[in-house]
Amino acid sequence: MSKILRVNMTARTVAFEAVPEKYKEMGGRWITSNIVCDEVSPTCHPLGPGNKIVYAAGIVTGTAAPTSGRISIGGKSPLTGTIKETNSGGMAGQKLARLGIKAIVVEGQPAEKGDYWVLKVDKDGAELLPASNSWLGKGLYETYPLLFDEFGEKVAIIGIGIAGERLMANAGICVNDPENRPSRYAGRGGMGAVMGSKGLKAIIIDDAGDPPGVPIVNKELFDTGRKKLTEALLAHDITKPGGGLNTYGTAVLVNIINEAGGFPTFNFRDGRFTGAAKISGEMIHEICTKRGGVGTTGHGCSPGCVIRCSNVYPKPDGSELVSVQEYESVWSFGANCGIDDLDITGELIRLCNDYGLDTIEAGVTIAMAIEAGLAEFGDGAKAIALMHEIGNGTPLGHILGNGAAITTNVFGVVRCPTVKGQAIPAYDPRAIKGIGITYAISTMGADHTYGYTIAPEMLGVSGKVDQFDVDKVDMARNFQHATAFIDASGYCLFIAFAILDIPSGLAGMVETCSGVLGTDWTVDNIGIIGEEIIRKERAFNTAAGFTKAHDRLPEFMKHEELPPHNVVFDVPDETLDRVHSLQN
């Protein structure tokens, strides 16, 4: 029988509750956003006792469904002030689901700031343990091994680093990968600071013994769906073994987005970077092969992934520098800061993993520091030094650790590429209009994963559309709804490449969900459920004070032309407002 674990950090109590009927079918972002809407006041301070943080695995997470190990983490974001769901791969989702826990809701906060606890969850229950001083105030590459020593190598750890302990608005939440690296992140929106504000250093999930597992109501339907989805993933050129993602990782996008003139360079001043090839997935693959040692592409971030898009990047001597050099991270620290060296982007990503920061926000923030005159574009050593300011908790580090928007406010920088306070990721919306619509109207600030229109706009997935076409209302809306459903399912969003092109894979995905829940959903339910999730999230934001005036891109993108196409963001405001006007 699945249940909800409620943890009160004021009273330091843990209690299991039955899952209310209305949440029975929900998983992932669907349930985190619903619990936040039902229990959190939209006007609460994100770091105060009124906010809550909710952890939930997806609908099929913990089953044998392929590539489905996601965990969603929700609450009110200190970075954006909106509702937030951020999800991660790694080891935690599947273990949490197998313990029969539908969601963990953490509320309240300790009377003493700086008082830290660890929540241990296993088949026998849950308890709050005081965090040892030796686990606090240091990098996660030091802390995680200590936690594994204490609790065993086979547990999963959901934890925060120094940035979360210091309540910085760019603090992410870390989940260990299969080799127990602190390398997978529910990074966006500063949810690490919310966890820190609760006095919760880490959640230890131990599924040893004989946990209940995930009940599957209709095993036959589930197996049929799983087979169809797996076949689609193994057949599609992007997701199959030896395909684009598996061979080169997500950074295979560097060259294509660069060729399209949409690869933000020097803080969104250019759409092409002369050093792009040097930070591309092809180069990562070449370096992993040439340097040897631990260098690996085709690494999986959680068990049961058939795509395996991750990597372990080696130093020149073959020893490990970091996992993982992803598209967004090599862009934010690379082209966006004018850096064309994977050894430097690797070190900067390693520091994010160590201090507990989101790489997108951190890289864009370094670019803001460059705008402010604290460093030069292309100066890797200075970028690394600025990251250490965050780790050392200096006053400058506190500014940078609070993200791009705060940094620009402090230093009087106008060219601030954020929406609702969250940094724009690695596609310039002036050159690729649909993703600009996604950034503008997302309930969570600029976020490419909120509606990945790049698939048809750039990659020829689910058809091809012109990158400059501004009338993409239906496309944007459909992608947002489908994405919300995938975020509820527990599947990694990258299955979308296969299921958008292969109808039986799409049907199979829905069948696995129906099989677990005993529902009779069809593919039509994707849009219905997705719309319902977004409607809830928008209602929260409206009550928090957000209006359509917030659904806008940075002003400079409307008048500053982006080379090489010399384009501005020309999607009319009315078009942006139309995406949801039909739905509300």
Backbone angles phi, psi at 56, to 5 degrees: -150, 135
- Tokens standing for 307? 């795509």
Considering only residues 497 to 516 of the shown chain, the ones binding other proteins according to CB under 8 A are 497
Nearer to other proteins, 211 or 244 (CB): 244
Min dist CB 237 to ligand SF4, Å, is 15
Nearer to other proteins, 408 or 462 (CB): 462
Binding mask 128-157 for ligand SF4 (x = CB under 6 A): ------------------------------
Min dist CB 495 to ligand SF4, Å, is 8
Min dist CB 94 to other proteins, Å, is 21
| Interaction partner, residue 283 (ligand SF4, other proteins, none; CB < 5-8 Å by kind) | other proteins
CB 451 within 8 A of CB 442: yes
- Roughly how many angstroms between the first and final C-alpha of the chain, as a whole number? 36
Min dist CB 186 to other proteins, Å, is 15
- Tokens standing for 561? 């032309």
Out of 20, 292, 303, 460, name the contact with other proteins by CB under 8 A.
460
Q: What is the DSSP letter of 22?
A: G
469 part of the interface to other proteins, by CB under 8 A: no
Question: For 216-241, b where at least 16 C-beta lie within 10 A, e where not — what string?
Answer: bebeebbebbbebbbebbbebebbbe
Nearer to ligand SF4, 170 or 250 (CB): 250
In whole angstroms, how far apart are CA 282 and each of 249, 293, 345?
9, 18, 15
301 part of the interface to ligand SF4, by CB under 6 A: yes
- Tokens standing for 258? 């660069």
- Tokens standing for 122? 């296993």
Name the one residue in this structure whose structure tokens are 């430097």. Answer: 344
Min dist CB 285 to other proteins, Å, is 9
Nearer to ligand SF4, 309 or 364 (CB): 309
Q: Which residues contact 128 (CB under 8 A, 6 or more apart)?
A: 7, 9, 12, 14, 117, 118, 119, 120
Strands 101-107 and 83-88: unpaired
Single out the segment in contact with ligand SF4 by CB under 6 A; choices: 197-205, 304-312, 369-377, 464-472. 304-312
Which amino acid would we find at residue 341? D
Half-sphere exposure of 411 (CA within 13 A, CB side): 21
Q: Work out the number of other CB atoms within 10 angstroms of the CB of residue 525.
A: 16
67 part of the interface to ligand SF4, by CB under 6 A: yes
343 part of the interface to other proteins, by CB under 8 A: no
| Interaction partner, residue 365 (other proteins, ligand SF4, none; CB < 5-8 Å by kind) | none
Min dist CB 428 to other proteins, Å, is 12
Total chain residues near ligand SF4 (CB under 6 A): 13
Q: What is the DSSP letter of 357?
A: B
Out of 309, 364, 399, 486, name the contact with ligand SF4 by CB under 6 A.
309
Cα 559 from Cα 543, distance rounded (Å):
32
| Interaction partner, residue 211 (ligand SF4, other proteins, none; CB < 5-8 Å by kind) | none
Min dist CB 454 to ligand SF4, Å, is 16
Single out the segment in contact with other proteins by CB under 8 A; choices: 158-166, 171-179, 225-233, 323-331. 323-331
| Interaction partner, residue 564 (other proteins, ligand SF4, none; CB < 5-8 Å by kind) | other proteins
- Tokens standing for 565? 């196409």
248 part of the interface to other proteins, by CB under 8 A: yes
Question: What 3-state class would DSSP assign to 67?
Answer: coil
Out of 58, 261, 346, 445, name the contact with other proteins by CB under 8 A.
261
Considering only residues 271 to 300 of the shown chain, the ones binding other proteins according to CB under 8 A are 271-272, 276-278, 280-283, 286
Cα 90 from Cα 69, distance rounded (Å):
7
Q: What is the dihedral of CA 463, 465, 470, 474, to 10 degrees?
A: -10
Looking at the DSSP bridge assignments, the partners of residue 53 are: 106
Cα 66 from Cα 127, distance rounded (Å):
32
Q: What is the DSSP letter of 131?
A: P
Helix ranges (H only) for 449-502 are 454-458, 473-489, 496-501
| Interaction partner, residue 308 (other proteins, ligand SF4, none; CB < 5-8 Å by kind) | ligand SF4
Out of 72, 180, 302, 311, name the contact with ligand SF4 by CB under 6 A.
302
Min dist CB 492 to ligand SF4, Å, is 3
492 part of the interface to ligand SF4, by CB under 6 A: yes
455 part of the interface to other proteins, by CB under 8 A: yes
- Tokens standing for 252? 């295979």
Out of 300, 338, 421, 445, name the contact with ligand SF4 by CB under 6 A.
300
307 part of the interface to ligand SF4, by CB under 6 A: yes
CB 287 within 8 A of CB 295: yes
Cα 372 from Cα 375, distance rounded (Å):
8
Nearer to other proteins, 147 or 567 (CB): 567
- Tokens standing for 105? 């809701």
Peptide bond connecting 564 to the previous residue in cis, omega within 30 degrees of 0: yes
Question: What 3-state class would DSSP assign to 86?
Answer: strand
Binding region for ligand SF4 (CB under 6 A):
67, 69, 89, 300-302, 305, 307-310, 492, 494
Binding residues for other proteins, per CB under 8 A? 236-239, 243-245, 247-253, 255-256, 259-261, 271-272, 276-278, 280-283, 286, 309, 326-328, 448-449, 452, 454-455, 458-461, 464, 466-467, 493-494, 497, 564-565
